[in-house]
Structure 1
Amino acid sequence: MDVIATHVNADFDCLGAMVAAKKLYPEALMVFPGSQEKSMRDFFLKTTGYMPALTRLKDIDPAKISRLILVDCRHTSRIGRLAEVAKRPDVEVHIYDHHPDSAGDITKSGGEIRECGSSTTILTKILMKKGIEVTPVEATLMMLGIYEDTGNLTFPSTTVDDYGAASWLLAHGANLNVVAEFVSQELTPEQVSLLNDLLHSLQTASVNGVDISLAHASIDHYVGDVAVLAHMMRDMENLEALFIVVGMGERVYIVARSRIPEVDVGAILRELGGGGHATAASATVRDHTVIQVLARLKQLFPEWINPKRTAGDLMSSPVKTLPVETTIAEARELLTRYNVNSMPVIEGGGMVGIISLRIVEKALYHGLGSLPVSEYMHTEFMRAEPDTPIAVIQNYIVGQHRRLVPVFSGEDLVGVITRTDLLRYMYSGMQHSAEAVYDLGRENPPVRRREVVHLMNKNLPRRVVDTLRELGKVGDGLELPVFAIGGFARDLLLGGKNDDIDITVEGDGILFAETFAATHECRVKSHAKFGTAVIVLPDGFKIDVASTRLEFYETPGALPTVERSSLKMDLYRRDFTINTLAIQLNPANFGLLIDYFGAYRDLRDKVIRVLHNLSFVEDPTRVFRAVRFEQRLGFQIARHTDNLIRNAVKMGFLDKLGGRRLLNELVIILREREPVRAILRMESLGLLGFIHPDLTLETENLRVLDEVKKVVTWFELLYQRDQVETWVVYFLALTSLLADAAFFEMCTRLSVSEHYREKLIDMRVHGEQMLAVMERKVAGKKPVLRSNIYFWLRGLSPEVLLYIMAKTCRDEVRKFVSLYVTQLREVTCMLTGDDLKAIGLPPGPRYREILDAVLSARLNGEVSTREEESRFVKQMLNFV
């Protein structure tokens, strides 16, 4: 059973999101786990035509819930009795929420979490993308949710998506009169009285140069919609940051609103057990008085409120710049002359990028000194103004691991703020040295650490968690830090399954593997040249172990040279930020997630981003991996990374790839669950031409590729035990328009082994021949016997059969192949050569002819028993 639910004390955003979720999960029941806000209760009392189909929680057996869909909430403390359901390992939990991360969040197995004005917006955008229509009633309920949580689209947390969702709902008949009536209600007498008390107590004081307003009141009974009063007070008094504290019986309610980046009210109220956004948050405190809560807030303010400074206070000026036509070699001379590690790049009087000394040095190392800096400069940068708050600069530099922020007055570049400038501001008296900009290899950003033990316990089998703990203990015994890294860590955070465990050790990985094996009855396969080993557990489960190392490339596209290094440099050599996570396994820090390069942020934002600007020059196969991860994970290649891919294509670096490496990447892509999307993306980036210049996507092979997915799915559902190389089917479909000579050239380019090349050519030739035979028969409208189908298709591999089914445009041909696969290929005759010998027929080539004739008769229903087969043979021989 599917159940859609939200948090207790539900509001209109909860209702709107639940209605939208119902469109995605039409069989699910909608349930409120607790009470509702007064405004929503009034709405249900005054309107009947807008009442959705709700189910009472007490009418549901929790044991029957197999999937729980939570909206506008992801914490067990806020969903009442459903918390126990969310904790069950057999229950899928899909979450759609717009609140920031907080400690104790439920781990989702599906859904979408991202920051925007309302949870309803997230679900509305999904409906828009999927083309799912809504009725005017549903649109009105959803619009109520968006308008309430965005303050009629005026709150600072409102995003472009909120406006887009509201526009779509309006086009689908949302009634703004209803929305206006219930979102903008008049205050009750109790709310007016409470508002008056709050206004009388309102005080504003400066904390770190920022004006903070604080109001409080106490009443002996509950009054709802305190958040409405906070909005009204903020707007009436034009306050930048407001905290209101209201005691109601045994609880103290806190509501906070902020218009300025210096004050993150969500972070502050999380210290009191609450949560929310940087601009809007709330908390409920038990067993404390209003005075105690006020005192606690005043303690928190100096710690959490950033001083209000601007870019103009901190920037360095004047700025040294480079013309866009400057070559890489000239750039090194200028960077050295002025003793700086980065410079803005100017074209036509405007800034177009940033070039760093490290990128210049790497480009020179690869013989690219004559190219202009425009080819490898970083083109994504923040455009600050003199009055941009320092908090914004800090969030950009620290949160996105950047080293330089240009400051503009209009279109004029008037200054820059470096990370050194920011550190000097934050930690006066520190010693600095100039460092590289926009290059993660020279960065030393604060490591982002999160505990992921709860994810490990929830998403991994117990034996895997126990094994990881044992690995950490062995590391402690050898005084070696041990980490699980790469795709294993990435997929753990994404909630997916990944059985490939990669372990890296800061030290001797082979020694570590052999020590573990000696104490756990395992086998080890070592590779001393690379410092790697494979641990094979008694049940056959394998764990890859490596020493932390760095790589450098002698020439573009060459295999890397490997040297021992630190964990950070080991992670830096990887392809994309999302693959740079590490989870420590040593007992003292078991489950500690280490994030040097913003991987967690890019996972959250669903972005594929390279670690440095020469990534595709050094290893062009990363281009194909970028496409693969983008399509597999449903992410998007970052704009600058996309530019670097296109540059690598333009410069022909993929021509330097060895055929075997290119084939390996292509095969991996074609083995994905949805390879067609990746193929389309490859074509959009100009990658197919590196496989063969004549390889293009046209209407016909696109049709065949789409059909392959259908027939492969059909085959796998019917014959789960039959092995089929699905990549071969997609490969044949992708290349179906190539001439035979071009197909041979492509196999040569991809370094396909002679044996397998002949096999692929044979598959292609025989598949096309049999397809032509069957289509001619169908076109001639002559009757086709079951024996005809059998002997046409006998001996063809499953890959060829599926290719024929995909390529044909005739349903009759597709039915022929289906009949063969499902029935005919298993048919055999009961007589054998020994039987023919017993009849008196001398052994010879005619045995095959006779037995095939018997098989034909059985296929066509002319014989069905052994006796009938024997009689058939005797008649056949007598006739002859």
Structure 2
Amino acid sequence: MDVITTHINADFDCLGGMIAARRLYPDAAMVFAGAQERGLREFFMQSAFYAYEFKRIRDIDLDAITRLILVDVCQAERIGPFGEVATRPGVEVHIYDHHPNKPHALHGSVEVIRPVGSTVTVLTHLFMERGIHPTPDEATMMLLGLYEDTSKLLSHATSAADYQAAAYLVEHGGNLNTVSDFLVQELTSDQVSLLHELLQSLTAINVNSVDIHIAHASIDNFVGDLAILAHKIKDMKTLDALFVAVRMGDRIFMVGRSRIPEVPAGDILEEFGGGGHGFAASATVRDMTLVQVLEKLPAVLRRHVNPHWEARHIMFSPVKTVQVADTIAQVREILTRYNINALPVLDGERVVGIITRQVAEKAAHHLLESVPVAEYMNSDFASVRPEISLRELQDLIVGRHQRFVPVVENGQLIGALTRTDLLHHMVSGAVARRRQGIGEPGNGLTLKRRVVAHLLRNQLREPLQKLLFHIGEVGDFLGQNVFVVGGFVRDLLLRQENFDIDVVVEGDGIGFAEEFGRRHGCRVRAHRKFATAVLVFPDGFKIDVASARTEYYLEPGALPTVETASIKLDLYRRDFTINTLAIAMNRAHFGELLDYFGGQSDLREKAIRVLHNLSFVEDPTRMFRAIRFEQRLAFQLGRHTEHLLKSAVRMGFLEKVSGPRVFNEMLLILREPDPLPAIARLDELGLLAYIHPRMSCRSEINRLLAAAKRTVDWYELLYTGEGCQRWQVFFLCLFSGLDESEVNQVLRHLGMPPRYAEFFGPERETVHRIVHQLEWRCSQRRNLSNSEVYRMLRELPIEALLYGMARTEHEEARRLMSHFVTHLRSVVSLIGGRDLQSMGLKPGPCYGEILNKLVAARLDGLVSTREDELRLVRRLLAG
């Protein structure tokens, strides 16, 4: 039996979510777990038509429930009698919610939890994705929930997705007049009295430099819609954060509202047995008095309200510097190499000035490159202490127009920050927390993080979860910050499987790998030149470990020069923003996401973007990777990124890259499950022409590639047990328009290993010849015997056979090749060399001749048993 339910004290978002969920589970019963808010009760009384399909709890056999669908809730203690059902073995739980998943929350086999303004929005987007059209009545009830939970699309929790969902529901008949009638209600006399008492009690406390208001009241009777009163107080007084606690009879009802990310209302009221999201939450307390609640609340706030922001929280470190005696030429080289715009100038260890890129470029323009930087640095600057508040920092940057600010402690430079860093912090809503006791000053804080521990639990198998935990454990032991980074994190957020784990250590990566290897019995392959290592587990599983590092390119297309750095600089060296995400592994911050460069935003927008304008110039092979990710993920190159790529192709930067590096990138593309869209995109952007000017995806090559894809897919579905190198088949197709000399030219250009050069050279010509012969013999209407087909095709590797099948347009030739692959290719004789030797035949070339004749006879049906073969051998020997 399927049941759809929601949290006790249900509101319109619960109603709309349940109505929507019923469309996904048409056989499910809809049951409220407890009471409803007054507005919802009045809606039912005035619109009984809408309530006809809801059942009462007493009408449900709880023991008969096999699947429980939870809407707008993911906590067992908030669903009344269904809490026991949700944790019962054998019951399948599906969750649709917009509240963040808490550590002690329920988990289901299906979880659709998105950070939007209402649960209705989550379900409406599922409707949009699946082509489900709500009826006008359903759309109206869903609109009621969406508008109520987002404060008529005006709350801080409202997202673009909420507006899209509202538009979709209105398009399908959602009645805004009905929404207005039921959501705009006059306060009752009891509510007005309670509102007055709450306003009288309103006080403010300062927690970590954030003003938080608290209101309380005590009444004997129940007054509904406390959330509406909290909204009115917050709006009347223009408050950033408000918590209301009211004793009604023997219970304490709490409501939290917040406009700012520093005050996570859901986390705070969770400690009182409630829940919600960052901007709105509620709780019902039964085991405490109002006085106890008000005494506990400040301590809870101190635990959850983010600490006061200081310069140390957003500065970067280590900082590149120059000395006063260094020349302008040396300054320009460092600015260019590390792609930065300003450098602090030191006299020993003391900061004495700042030199900017603009000044260095102008000095060079005036032929002053050999002059010491001390002559042109700006010595009229301000440095700051790490504990300076961001408000003071903002005044400094804006008031004094200082774009680069050194952070100094005890006379030593420990970090720096720029106007861009401050702006990014102000607009991102980022939350920083201290990582106590880990790392050097400046390395212990992050700009932007989100807890993704629940994703790690839900997406990964238990052994992999334990492995990540052990990685953090070793990091804690060594006092090093440890992260998993790159594609593993990207695919985790995309809910895609990826077991290629890359670990980055702020510190000695090789030392970390060696300690991990000692603890867990892994072999360690170290590459000290690059400060990297590979952990090889007993079962062959591998993890790449690297020290956090930065890199620069001495010239376009060259391999990078590497230096150790912070995690932020390590992420900045990566190819695309979606690959710059990192997850902390240390126990205190396990599962926290670092996103310095907008990777999450680009994942949402399905965009491939480079981090800086010279990305394709420094490493032109990134052009191939951009297309591979674009097609694999069904993303789109950002407009500016595509412009930069086309510019790099036009300026010939690929010519500076060694052929083997390009071959490796092509290999990765052709190994994709469906490489055809990427090949077409390579052609469109002019990258195939780099491999050879005549290589393209013109119509006949497109036909051949499509046929090869079908043929390879067909072969893999046969499950013969013999693998197939798909990429070789597709490469043969790309070579199809080139003659022998042009193919050899490509092989030399790409530096293909000899084993591949043989296959794509002479082997390719052999395939063409055999396919041509087979087509000619079929066109003569000759019925080829199985043994004749076998003799023609037996020497070809499977990749060449599949290419031949794709290449031929002769139906009978293709059928014969298919028959060879599926039936003839595996035929062998039942007797072997030992049998021949026992019959008195001396070993020699005749063995091969006899065995071939036995196979031919078996193929043509002339022998079927071992005795048949022995009789045939005796006749051959007698002859």
User: TM-score normalised by the shorter chain: which range applies?
Assistant: 0.5 to 0.7
Structure 1 partner of 2:575: 575
| Cα deviation, residue 753, structure 1 | 2.2
Give the alignment's TM-score, normalised by structure 2.
0.68
Question: What are the within-5 Å matches in structure 2 for residues 743-754 of structure 1?
Answer: 743-754=743-754
Distance change (3 Å), C-alpha of 1:463 and 1:824: same
User: Quick one: which amino acid aligns to residue 595 of structure 1?
Assistant: L
Structure 2 partner of 1:850: 853
Q: Conserved in 2, the CA contact under 8 Å of 1:251 and 1:284?
A: yes
Whole-Å separation in 2 of the counterparts to 1:821 and 1:134: 51
Q: Conserved in 2, the CA contact under 8 Å of 1:358 and 1:439?
A: no
| Cα deviation, residue 789, structure 1 | 5.9
Q: Conserved in 2, the CA contact under 8 Å of 1:205 and 1:211?
A: no
Question: What are the within-5 Å matches in structure 2 for residues 683-832 of structure 1?
Answer: 686-697=686-697, 701=701, 712-719=712-719, 721-733=721-733, 743-761=743-761, 764-765=764-765, 793-803=793-803, 819-830=819-830
Q: Conserved in 1, the CA contact under 8 Å of 2:584 and 2:591?
A: yes
Q: Conserved in 1, the CA contact under 8 Å of 2:71 and 2:119?
A: yes
Q: Conserved in 1, the CA contact under 8 Å of 2:143 and 2:179?
A: no
User: Quick one: which amino acid aligns to residue 447 of structure 1?
Assistant: T
How large is the Cα RMSD of the aligned pairs? 6.2
Distance change (3 Å), C-alpha of 1:482 and 1:298: closer
1:197 and 2:197 matched: no
Q: Deviations over 1:319-377 (max 9, x none)?
A: xxxxxxxxxx9x989x99xxx958xxxxxxxxxxxxx9579999999xxxxxxxxxxxx
Q: Conserved in 1, the CA contact under 8 Å of 2:5 and 2:33?
A: no
1:597 and 2:600 matched: no
User: Quick one: which amino acid aligns to residue 194 of structure 2?
Assistant: D
Structure 1 partner of 2:182: 185
| Cα deviation, residue 759, structure 1 | 0.8
Distance change (3 Å), C-alpha of 1:614 and 1:508: same
Structure 2 partner of 1:34: 33
Whole-Å separation in 1 of the counterparts to 2:807 and 2:134: 38
Whole-Å separation in 2 of the counterparts to 1:761 and 1:162: 58
Whole-Å separation in 2 of the counterparts to 1:360 and 1:175: 62
Distance change (3 Å), C-alpha of 1:596 and 1:149: closer
Q: Conserved in 2, the CA contact under 8 Å of 1:98 and 1:117?
A: yes
Q: Conserved in 2, the CA contact under 8 Å of 1:199 and 1:215?
A: no
Whole-Å separation in 1 of the counterparts to 2:20 and 2:696: 40
Question: What are the within-5 Å matches in structure 2 for residues 401-412 of structure 1?
Answer: none
Distance change (3 Å), C-alpha of 1:433 and 1:849: closer
Q: Conserved in 1, the CA contact under 8 Å of 2:7 and 2:72?
A: yes
Whole-Å separation in 2 of the counterparts to 1:305 and 1:517: 37
| Cα deviation, residue 713, structure 1 | 4.7
Distance change (3 Å), C-alpha of 1:234 and 1:676: farther
Question: What are the within-5 Å matches in structure 2 for residues 589-738 of structure 1?
Answer: 589=588, 591=590, 593=592, 595=594, 597=596, 601-602=600-601, 605=604, 610-632=610-632, 641=641, 644-679=644-679, 682=682, 686-697=686-697, 701=701, 712-719=712-719, 721-733=721-733
For residue 562 of structure 2, give the secondary structure of its aligned residue in structure 1.
strand
Q: Deviations over 1:153-189 (max 9, x none)?
A: 5656544444434444455xx3334x75467438899
For residue 559 of structure 2, give the secondary structure of its aligned residue in structure 1.
coil
Q: Deviations over 1:203-253 (max 9, x none)?
A: 688999999997766555666555456667878999998765544444433
| Cα deviation, residue 855, structure 1 | 3.4
Q: Which moves more between the two structures, 792-801 or 733-742?
A: 733-742
Whole-Å separation in 2 of the counterparts to 1:779 and 1:364: 78
Distance change (3 Å), C-alpha of 1:529 and 1:166: closer
For residue 823 of structure 1, give the secondary structure of its aligned residue in structure 2.
helix
Structure 1 partner of 2:387: none
Whole-Å separation in 2 of the counterparts to 1:359 and 1:815: 70
Distance change (3 Å), C-alpha of 1:90 and 1:749: farther
Distance change (3 Å), C-alpha of 1:847 and 1:620: same
| Cα deviation, residue 854, structure 1 | 0.9
Q: Conserved in 1, the CA contact under 8 Å of 2:504 and 2:548?
A: yes
| Cα deviation, residue 447, structure 1 | 1.3
Whole-Å separation in 1 of the counterparts to 2:89 and 2:546: 33
For residue 253 of structure 1, give the secondary structure of its aligned residue in structure 2.
strand
Q: Conserved in 1, the CA contact under 8 Å of 2:34 and 2:80?
A: no
For residue 529 of structure 2, give the secondary structure of its aligned residue in structure 1.
coil
| Cα deviation, residue 468, structure 1 | 5.9
Question: What are the within-5 Å matches in structure 2 for residues 202-221 of structure 1?
Answer: 202=199, 220=220
Whole-Å separation in 1 of the counterparts to 2:537 and 2:361: 42
User: Quick one: which amino acid aligns to residue 855 of structure 1?
Assistant: R
Q: Deviations over 1:782-833 (max 9, x none)?
A: 8776666655654443334444566677887776555444434333344667
Structure 1 partner of 2:374: none
Whole-Å separation in 2 of the counterparts to 1:611 and 1:364: 28
Distance change (3 Å), C-alpha of 1:523 and 1:157: closer
Distance change (3 Å), C-alpha of 1:565 and 1:699: same
Whole-Å separation in 2 of the counterparts to 1:734 and 1:70: 52
| Cα deviation, residue 557, structure 1 | 1.6
Q: Deviations over 1:257-288 (max 9, x none)?
A: 67789987667767866555565444444444
Structure 1 partner of 2:446: 447
Q: Conserved in 2, the CA contact under 8 Å of 1:850 and 1:873?
A: no
Structure 2 partner of 1:559: 559
Structure 2 partner of 1:120: 120
For residue 558 of structure 1, give the secondary structure of its aligned residue in structure 2.
coil
| Cα deviation, residue 719, structure 1 | 1.2
Whole-Å separation in 2 of the counterparts to 1:148 and 1:553: 55
Q: Deviations over 1:374-418 (max 9, x none)?
A: xxxxxxxxxxxxxxxxxxxx99x99xxxx999xxxxxxxxx9987
Give the alignment's TM-score, normalised by structure 1.
0.68
Q: Conserved in 1, the CA contact under 8 Å of 2:833 and 2:847?
A: no
Q: Conserved in 2, the CA contact under 8 Å of 1:341 and 1:436?
A: no
Whole-Å separation in 1 of the counterparts to 2:602 and 2:468: 23
Q: Conserved in 1, the CA contact under 8 Å of 2:708 and 2:729?
A: yes
Identify unmatched segments of 5+ residues in structure 2: 309-328, 343-354, 365-389, 426-441
Q: Conserved in 2, the CA contact under 8 Å of 1:404 and 1:418?
A: yes
User: Quick one: which amino acid aligns to residue 195 of structure 2?
Assistant: L
Whole-Å separation in 1 of the counterparts to 2:533 and 2:583: 19
| Cα deviation, residue 659, structure 1 | 1.6
Q: Which moves more between the two structures, 723-732 or 291-300?
A: 291-300
Q: Conserved in 2, the CA contact under 8 Å of 1:483 and 1:583?
A: yes
Whole-Å separation in 2 of the counterparts to 1:195 and 1:707: 75
Whole-Å separation in 1 of the counterparts to 2:248 and 2:198: 16
Whole-Å separation in 2 of the counterparts to 1:238 and 1:786: 87
Structure 1 partner of 2:530: 530
Aligned residues: 786
Structure 2 partner of 1:412: none
Q: Which moves more between the two structures, 808-817 or 644-653?
A: 808-817
Distance change (3 Å), C-alpha of 1:454 and 1:279: closer
Q: Conserved in 2, the CA contact under 8 Å of 1:771 and 1:804?
A: yes
Q: Conserved in 1, the CA contact under 8 Å of 2:66 and 2:92?
A: no
| Cα deviation, residue 752, structure 1 | 1.6
Q: Which moves more between the two structures, 597-606 or 722-731?
A: 597-606
User: Quick one: which amino acid aligns to residue 563 of structure 1?
Assistant: E
Structure 2 partner of 1:175: 173
For residue 557 of structure 2, give the secondary structure of its aligned residue in structure 1.
coil
Q: Deviations over 1:817-865 (max 9, x none)?
A: 554444343333446678899699993886477345413313xxx6544
Q: Conserved in 1, the CA contact under 8 Å of 2:733 and 2:803?
A: yes
Distance change (3 Å), C-alpha of 1:771 and 1:545: same
For residue 563 of structure 1, give the secondary structure of its aligned residue in structure 2.
strand
Whole-Å separation in 2 of the counterparts to 1:624 and 1:467: 32
Q: Deviations over 1:29-88 (max 9, x none)?
A: 5765834745667777856689779998965779966xx876544556545677789889
